[in-house]
Amino acid sequence: MKVEIVVKDGDLDRVVSTIIRNARSSSPGDGKIFISPVEDAIRIRTGERGNEALY
**Which CATH number characterizes residue 30's domain?**
3.30.70.120
Question: How many domains does the chain contain in total?
Answer: 1
Amino acid found at 7: V
- For residue 42, the SS3 value is strand
Range of the domain at 44: 9-53
Q: Which whole number is the average pLDDT over 36-43?
A: 95
- Domain contains 38: yes
Q: Are 30 and 20 in contact (CB under 8 A)?
A: no
- Domain contains 40: yes
DSSP 27: S
Q: Give yes or no for residue 11 having a pLDDT over 90.
A: yes
- Domain contains 1: no
Q: Which residues have CB under 8 Å from 15's CB, separation 6+? A: 5, 7
- Domain contains 27: yes
Greatest distance between any 2 Cα atoms in the chain: 45
pLDDT number for residue 19: 96
